[in-house]
Each structure stands twice: as structure tokens, then as C-alpha cells.
Chain A
Amino acid sequence: MNTLTTIDELAFAPALQQDTLEDTTSDHALLEATRSGDQDAFAELVSRYRNQITSYIYRMTSDYDGAVDLAQETFVRVYRARDRYQRSYAFSTYIYRIATNLAISELRKRKRRKLVSLTGFFQPTDGGEAKELNPPDQRPLQDSELVDAERRNAVQRAIGTLPEKYRAPLILRDVDGRSYDEIAAILETSEGTVKSRISRARGFLREKMRAYL
């Protein structure tokens, strides 16, 4: 238990305590605490990022159960590598990088497995433009919520058809609202490349979503 030895400490005690509290709740501090065996600190990190990471991987893979598994794998890897973690970049960048690598790896595995997807039957084998299996219903819907739901489904499907190198930056930027420099750090590429890829991704989406725009 700390003891106060001077009157100055007594006067500034609340301020010092606040500083200490803020410091201990930063991601870096939580990971430091995890490294020293504090399980609660890791639980706090998980509670901060579990929804973000699950959602991000889900947007990448369009598979909720798989996304949950990969999100868990992301945290397992963070936990295993807690001793090797370096504070040279933000923890969010670090964990998003792991999640991105896992998601892209999963997408490549699927491609190798050549999973038979329903949309695959409508995709030309010569690498041409994919046709939409479930084209938007042009009839007016009664409920605006239904319209929104249909629109979101269409967006998710359209994002799922993007090449992975365009998909990740678009999701990070337009869904998660990350900055260009952070996206560049996550994807380990330049900011210019990120901007270019996001622009291309939006162009693809604009073509696919023309009926909704």
C-alpha cells in the first residue's frame, strides 16, 4: 500500500491517480499487464475488440460462424505472442493486421478448395464480369426497413465479390471508418496504394449497386 510522505503528494493525489488510471487502461498497458499474468487485463482487451474484429472478419468472409472462429484465433495469437509484442505501433493496428491475415488466408483456402458457391454457377470461367445470382428486386417494397435490409444484403454480397486486395481497405475505410495511414499500417502498404485500391473498390461497387443508387 502506498503511503503519502509529503503534503504535495496529498494535494496532487487525485490528479496522479487519474493519470495512473488512464495509463493502465490503454491498450498497451493492458497488454503489459497481460504479459505479467493479469488475466483480467486480457479480458478487458477482448471486450474492447471482440465485436470490431468479429464484424471486420465477417465483412471480409461473409460467414458469421467462421468469422467468430477467426476472431477467437486472432485473440489466441495475440495472447500467445504477448511477450513478443512491440509498442512501435498501435495495438489496434496490430490486432487488425492479425485479423486481416487470417481472413485473407481463409479466403485463399476457400479458393483452393474451390467451394461450389451458388454464385459460382453464374460466374464465367474466363475471368469475366460476374453475374449476380440474386439480382435486386425492382418492385417497390412496402416497408422502408425491408428496403434498407435488402440494400444492406446487396452491399454485403457485392463486397463479397470484390478481390481481397480491394475488399480489406474498403471495409476498413467505409465500414470501420479507419484513417488512410492506419489502413496502410494494417495492410503493410503505402497510403497511396490504399487510396487507389479504395477508389477502385468503390468503382466496382458502384457498378454492382447501380440499382440502389
Chain B
Amino acid sequence: MKDRQCELIRRELDELPLNEDLSAAAAEHLQSCAACREFRRQQTKLRQIVGSLGTVNAPPDFDFRLRARLAADSQPSGTRYWSFAVKGLATAAILVVVGVGGAVVWQRGHQPVTVAEGPGVHTQEVGETPPPPPTVAPKVTPVVVFNNEPRHKPQPPLVIKPKRTLTSADFSSEGANVVSITRPALNKSTVFPIEASLQSVKVSLDDGRGNARTISFPPVSFGSQRVLTTANQFAPKGNW
């Protein structure tokens, strides 16, 4: 019974404004109920504290910012359209540039590697002997194997070099010229008649991305091509 009355009184205390007087019944109840008195005290204090929070003022530039916001909001539709159009065109231009760039990169990645033609395979003439029928070297066809892995990690194309081809001549059935220090060669030259090409063979490779590499093969040397003088301690003795 008393709990029910306390509940009613507390509800009244809850709804009553702070500065208003209690009803007679509530005042009478409070005199006899310590719990409700304590409730009222706490409730009043709490509401005073909450009420003391007061008003937080807007910043001084509130009106200015609001006016700017409203002005931006009420732009004429034509201006908005052009603003949108300019943004759209800019976006489209960026997309086109990116697309073209991507296509160029893709195209370069798929371009086959070109091998620059180097000097041909030379046959040698020994002395005045008729040149043996030159063995035709097999046509060198560089094989380019493309890497089919995803393009995000490009790798240089793999070039399989052909096996080195040898040019040979059979001199076993012909008499060889004798070349010695005391009896120079028929052409009175102190130079051995062996005409090895002094030029190095250069092969230029392009990997398709603008990187060119030149591989230089030095000429094969069988030793000094000039007759050494006898004064030379390292000169060969007798027939060479």
C-alpha cells in the first residue's frame, strides 16, 4: 500500500517543474517517508545539475558559413550543369590517357624481339688454294619464346640462341704450302696468308622495349699472324 503511494508521489515529483509547489498529499507523504524525501533531494539536485549545462553558443562565423552554404546550394542549374560537364570531361580525358598508355605498354610487351643482322659467316681462303666449296651455314633463325605469364610482372622474352655452326674445309687431299722463316711465302709477304677476318662479329638484339644490346664476338686468333724475327727469343724454330 505504501509502495503504491510512494510510486505515485515519485511520479508526481518527476513531472513537477522544479519551481512549483508540491500537492498537499505529496507534502504530507514526504514528511513521513524518508526514502521519498531522499528521492526528492537527489532528483532535485540532478535536475539542477542537468539544467546548469546551459546553452552552447554557435561560433561567430555561423551566419557567414551558412550563407556560403546556401549560396552554393542555390547555384543556377546551368552553372551546376557546366560544373558537372567540366568534371565529366576531365574524368573522360584522364580515362583516355590511361587507356592509350595501357595500350602502348601492352603493344610493346607483345612486340617480337628483332635481331639485327650481323656479318655473315665468312669462309676462309688459305693461300692460293681454291676455296673449298663453302659449307652453307644453316640459316640462323632466332626463336623467340614469349612468356605467357600475367603482364603485371613482365619478363624479357627468352631468346634461344642457335647452336654455333662450324665451317669446315677438307685440305687432306691437297698439298699444303710450306711456310717457314727461311723461305717466305710466294707472295714475299711476311704476313701469313691466312686471312682471318680481323673484324669482330657483332650481333645487335632489341628486346622490344627499346633496350638494345650488342654482343661482340672477338675474331678467332690462332696466334700471331706476323712472322716473328729470329731475334725474338720466342720465335718458333724451323718450320712453323
Do B46 and A55 have beta carbons less than 8 Å apart?
no
Chain B residues, Cβ within 8 Å of A213: 41-42, 45-46
Do A46 and B57 contact each other (CB < 8 Å), given the known contacts A170-B50, A213-B45?
no
* Of B20-28, B60-68, B89-97, the one with at least 4 CB within 8 A of chain A: B60-68
Q: How far is the CB of A110 from chain B (nearest CB, A)?
A: 19
A56-79 interface bits toward B, Cβ cutoff 8 Å, 1 = contact, 0 = none = 001100001001100110011001
A198, CB-defined interface residue at 8 Å: yes
With beta carbons under 8 angstroms apart, the residue of A148, A175, A195, A205 that contacts B51 is A175
At the interface with chain B, which of A13-21, A83-91, A151-159? A151-159
**Within 8 Å of chain A (Cβ to Cβ): is B211?**
no
* Given A68-B59, A76-B66, A206:B53 Cβ within 8 A: no
Q: Does B87 contact A (CB under 8 A)?
A: no
Q: Contact check, B63 vs A46: say whether CB atoms are below 8 A apart.
A: yes
Main secondary structure of the interface of B (DSSP, over half): helix
Asked if B51 contacts A174 (CB within 8 A), the reply is yes
Across the interface, do A52 and B63 meet the contact criterion of CB distance under 8 Å? no
B11 within 8 A of A: yes
- Name the distance in Å between A112's Cβ and chain B's nearest Cβ: 25
Q: Given A174-B47, A199-B14, A213-B45, are A148 and B58 neighbors across the interface (CB < 8 Å)?
A: no
Contact call A209/B46, Cβ cutoff below 8 A: yes
If A170-B50, A195-B15 touch, does A55 touch B55 (CB 8 Å cutoff)?
A: yes
> Is B166 engaged at the interface, CB distance under 8 Å to the other chain?
no
Q: Cβ of B43 and Cβ of A76 under 8 Å apart?
A: no
Within 8 Å CB of A51, what residues of B? Answer: 55-58
B47: chain A residues at CB < 8 Å are: 174, 202
Q: Do residues A58 and B56 form an inter-chain contact, with CB atoms below 8 A?
A: yes
| Count class of interface residues, chain A | 35 or more
For the complex, is B69 an interface residue (Cβ under 8 Å from A)?
A: yes
Q: Which residue from B51, B52, B55 sits with its C-beta under 8 Å from A52?
A: B55
Number of A-B pairs whose CB atoms are under 8 Å? Answer: 87
Per-residue CB contact flags for chain A residues 136-158 toward chain B (1 = under 8 Å, else 0) read 00000000000010011001100
Partner of A155, one of B49, B55, B59: B49
Are A202 and B14 in contact, CB atoms less than 8 angstroms apart?
yes
What chain B residues lie within 8 Å of A175 (beta carbons)?
50-51, 53-54
Chain A residue at minimal CB-CB distance from B55: A55
Give Cα distance in the complex from A72 to B59, angstroms: 11
| Known contacts A59-B53, A76-B69; A205/B46 CB under 8 A | yes
- Once bound together, how far apart are the Cα atoms of A152 and B56, in whole Å? 13
User: Chain B residue with minimal CB distance to A43?
Assistant: B63
Complex-state Cα separation, A203 to B56, whole angstroms: 25
Task: Assess whether B73 is interfacial by the CB under 8 Å rule.
Answer: yes
Q: Decide if A54 is an interface residue (CB 8 Å cutoff).
A: yes
Smallest distance from the beta carbon of A179 to chain B beta carbons, Å?
A: 10
Q: Which of A47, A198, A202 is packed against the most chain B CB atoms within 10 Å?
A: A202
Contact (Cβ within 8 A) B66 A46: yes
Report Cα–Cα, A38/B195, bound state, in Å: 106
Residues A151 and B51 in contact, CB atoms below 8 Å apart: no
Q: Which residue of B lies closest to A156 (CB)?
A: B53
Closest Cβ–Cβ distance, residue B64 to chain A (whole Å): 11
Contact call B53/A50, Cβ cutoff below 8 A: no
**Beta-carbon contact of B50 and A55 below 8 Å:** no
| Sample of 11 further A-B pairs with CB below 8 A, known A46-B62, A47-B63, A209-B49 | A46-B66, A50-B63, A51-B56, A54-B57, A55-B54, A76-B69, A174-B47, A180-B15, A195-B14, A198-B14, A212-B45
A-B residue pairs, 8 tightest by C-beta: A54-B58, A55-B56, A174-B50, A50-B58, A55-B55, A213-B42, A58-B56, A199-B14
Interface residues of B (CB under 8 A from A): 11, 14-15, 41-43, 45-47, 49-59, 62-63, 65-66, 69-70, 73
The interface of chain A, by Cβ under 8 A from chain B, is 43, 46-47, 50-55, 58-59, 64, 67-68, 71-72, 75-76, 79-80, 148, 151-152, 155-156, 159, 170, 174-175, 177, 180, 195, 198-199, 202, 205-206, 209, 212-213
